[in-house]
């Protein structure tokens, strides 16, 4: 529910409405437009009567919001959210690229890749310390040792680190050491984890589940945001369809749909979407042209020897070429 105030009403004058909503256990958000102030209400709208709200002389009208994702939706937050991590920005016109290996394998490996992707223009370093694998016999990541190596790479390159959390067990470590917490596709609807990660107040990169609708992705973002953080990035990484030519099917239409429905930045992962390194470039360029706010690309200095997802990892040299072409696409659509 959105409460539209009469022109010229200040936030201080509207305090009685905020008090009423709080008394009924509802959270509220001050929304300031070009010519009007509104109050967005989050919670069970049945808890308070419309007549009670309309009795205040400074209230003009009430708008019922049909979408269940109030915090993630654009109606409550018309302006684009910009996620800023130490000066590295994504959203609101700022385009950011996250790059690095699927898995952290050694100090030499992560340092070498971090330096290469930074030189090519990446703003964030990605690397998996904990790996959710389909097979229990596949490499599961280095765990906290891998997280320590990511911290070393951040210290030596200045790149903020992005890595995936697998369970509540590591919340304290991620709160202290990770700049952007990634929620993987398999955990997109792990609602307990979403709330607890949101309560950390750190930026979150939320990946779309392999069979999740756009509304389900936005509701997952709502869980994170209801936990406390407002800096959430939505990541389209391909969905499961009948097609077998690629690992998944990249839903490029999700970009304009999400940007219409939500104020949150939209990041595209062409690596997991396609599963093949030679398809990463065309999909990265297409996503950029479609209006994505950023990309997340897997880069490995020796893909043929990678312990995880080598087939979809590009070399630093190929990544540099992709970045040059992405810059040209952005210039062309500006």
Alpha helices in 189-252 (DSSP H): 191-199, 214-227
pTM given for the model: 0.86
One fold for 2-63 and 83-333: no
Of 115, 144, 86, 87, the C-alpha closest to 299 is 115
Alpha helices in the chain (DSSP H): 15-23, 50-54, 107-120, 144-157, 171-177, 191-199, 214-227, 254-261, 270-274, 277-289, 316-333
Of 105, 100, 80, the C-alpha closest to 295 is 100
Provide, rounded to the nearest whole percent, the portion of the chain with pLDDT above 90. Answer: 76
- What is the rounded distance in angstroms from the CA atom of residue 185 to the CA atom of residue 165? 11
Give the pLDDT confidence score for residue 49 in this predicted structure: 87
Domain 2-63: CATH architecture, name and number where available: 2-Layer Sandwich (3.30)
Give the pLDDT confidence score for residue 70 in this predicted structure: 87
pLDDT average, residue stretch 298-306: 96
pLDDT average, residue stretch 201-223: 97
* pLDDT tens-place string over residues 109-159: 999 999 999 999 999 999 999 866 566 656 667 889 999 999 999 999 999
The answer to whether 179 and 161 have CB atoms below 8 angstroms apart is yes
In three state form, how does the secondary structure of 45-65 look? Answer: HHHCCHHHHHCCCCEEEEECC
* pLDDT tens-place string over residues 72-110: 999 888 899 999 999 999 999 999 999 999 999 999 999
What topology is assigned to 83-333 in CATH? Answer: TIM Barrel (3.20.20)
> What's the chain's average pLDDT?
93
Give the pLDDT confidence score for residue 86 in this predicted structure: 94
- Phi first, then psi: give them for residue 187, nearest 5 degrees: -105, 10
| Residues contacting residue 114 through CB under 8 Å, at least 6 positions apart | 100, 125, 153, 154, 156, 157, 159
Q: Where are the domains of the chain?
A: 2-63, 83-333
38-42, 56-60, 66-70, 314-318, range with greatest mean pLDDT: 314-318
């Amino acid at each position: 529910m959105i409460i539209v105030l009469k022109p010229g009403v200040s936030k201080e004058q509207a305090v009685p409405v905020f008090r009423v909503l709080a008394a009924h256990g509802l959270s509220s958000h001050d929304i300031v437009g070009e010519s009007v102030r509104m109050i967005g209400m989050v919670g069970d709208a049945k808890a308070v009567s419309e007549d009670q709200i309309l009795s205040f002389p400074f209230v003009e009208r009430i708008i019922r919001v049909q979408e269940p994702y109030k915090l993630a939706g654009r109606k409550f937050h018309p302006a684009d959210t910009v996620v800023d991590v130490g000066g590295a920005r994504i959203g609101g016109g700022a385009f950011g690229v996250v790059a690095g290996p699927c898995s952290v394998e050694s100090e030499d490996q992560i340092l070498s890749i971090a330096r290469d992707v930074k030189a090519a223009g990446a703003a964030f370093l990605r690397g998996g310390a904990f790996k959710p694998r389909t097979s229990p016999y596949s490499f599961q990541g280095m765990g906290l040792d891998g997280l320590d190596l990511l911290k070393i790479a951040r210290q030596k390159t200045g790149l903020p680190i992005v890595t995936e959390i697998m369970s509540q067990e590591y919340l304290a470590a991620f709160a202290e050491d990770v700049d952007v917490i990634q929620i993987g596709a398999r955990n997109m609807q792990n609602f307990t984890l979403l709330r607890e990660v949101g309560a950390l107040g750190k930026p979150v990169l939320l990946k779309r589940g392999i069979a999740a609708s756009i509304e389900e992705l936005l509701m997952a973002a709502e869980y994170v945001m209801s936990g406390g953080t407002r800096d959430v990035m939505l990541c389209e990484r391909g969905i499961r369809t009948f097609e077998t030519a690629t690992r998944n099917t990249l839903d490029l239409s999700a970009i304009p749909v999400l940007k219409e429905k939500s104020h949150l930045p939209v990041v595209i992962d062409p690596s997991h979407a396609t599963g093949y390194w030679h398809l990463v470039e065309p999909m990265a360029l297409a996503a950029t042209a479609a209006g994505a706010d950023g990309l997340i690309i897997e880069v490995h200095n020796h893909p043929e020897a990678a312990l995880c997802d080598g087939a979809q990892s590009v070399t630093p040299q190929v990544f540099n070429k992709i970045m040059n072409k992405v810059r040209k696409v952005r210039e062309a659509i500006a």
